Amino acid sequence: MGLESKLTNDGFFTTTIDALASWARENSVWPMPMGISCCAIEMMAVGDPKYDIARFGSEVMRFTPRQCDLMIVAGTVTYKMAHVVKKIFDQMPEPKWVIAMGACTSSGGMYRSYNVVQGIDQFLPVDVYAAGCPPRPENLLNALMQIQEKIGKTRVKDFPDAQQSGFDTKPTDLSLSKN
């Protein structure tokens, strides 16, 4: 985490830089579209001129995990595909967040069958679940805004490897506003 790992106490200067870094991070969330099935089409629709996602800062949907910080898992995850999703999630650098888009990723959706993982939270840490089959593009934008809110409240001491650098371990209250 570069500059921030040098900051070790909660003085005024450091908390301002902290807040500034979080503000910059939340307004330039680059999603990694893990588009698997129908929800991927709605994710493409979020990128089109009508429901522009670029105005939220997600200007580019990079298809390489190394350059992204948000993974939008869009589509039914089967057991065979779960290994691929996990591999790509592991390749994303920290800090990273996950949106489980649609009913299939949240809980298996309408597919109660032998090959569908009943919810990706069985193998991935999910931050926001977007409901719908598929969720309307406005719904996905709402999920993105909730992720932005969550990122905005995150401070350096919440990141996993910050724990080892000797920060005080009381985590920030990341519960989202009730709406």
Partner 1 sequence: MKELLKEKLAKQFTTVQFEFIEQFDELTLKFDKSAIVNVCAFLKDEDGLKFNFCEDVTAVDWATRKKRFTVVYHIFSMENKFRLCLKVDLDDSECSIESVSSIWKAANWAEREAYDMYGITFLNHPDLRRMYMPEDFEYHPLRKEFPLMGIPGSVPLPKK
Partner 2 sequence: MQKLTKDNVHPKIVQALLGADSNITIEDALENEMILNMGPQHPATHGVLRLLLRLDGETVIACVPELGYLHRGYEKMAENMSYLEFIPHTDRLDYISPPANNVAYALAVEKLAGIIAPPRAQYIRMLLAELARMCSHLVAIGALAMDVGALTVFLWGLREREKILDFFDVICGARFTTSYTRIGGVASDVTSDTMRNIITFINQFEEKIDEMERLLNGNRIFVERLEGVGVISKDDAIDIGFTGPNLRASGVAFDLRRATPYLFYNEMDFKIPVYTEGDCLARYFVRADELRESAKIIRQVIDKMPNGEVMLNSPKKVLPRKIEIYTKMEELIHDFMIVNFGINPPVGEVYHAVENPKGELGFYIVSKGEGHPWKMKIRSPSFANIQAIPHLVKGQMISDVVAIVGSIDPIMGEADK
Interacting residue ranges for partner 1, rule: CB under 8 A: 79-80, 82-83, 86, 112-115, 117, 122-125
How many angstroms separate the CA atoms of 30 and 18, rounded?
20
* Residues paired with 107 in a beta bridge: none
Among 31, 53, 68, 75, binds partner 2 (CB under 8 A): 75
Enter the tokens of residue 166.
């000797």
Among 37, 118, 142, 165, binds partner 2 (CB under 8 A): 37
* Residues paired with 33 in a beta bridge: 72
Enter the tokens of residue 20.
């500034």
Residue nearer to partner 2 on the CB measure, 89 or 97: 89
Other residues' Cβ atoms within 10 Å of the Cβ of residue 72: 30
Letters for 1-30 (x = contact with partner 2 by CB under 8 A, - = none) are: ------------------------------
**Residues 82-111 contacting partner 2, CB under 8 A:** 84, 88, 110-111
How many angstroms separate the CA atoms of 170 and 105, rounded?
31
Residue 22's binding partner out of partner 1, partner 2, none, with CB under 5 to 8 Å set by partner kind: none
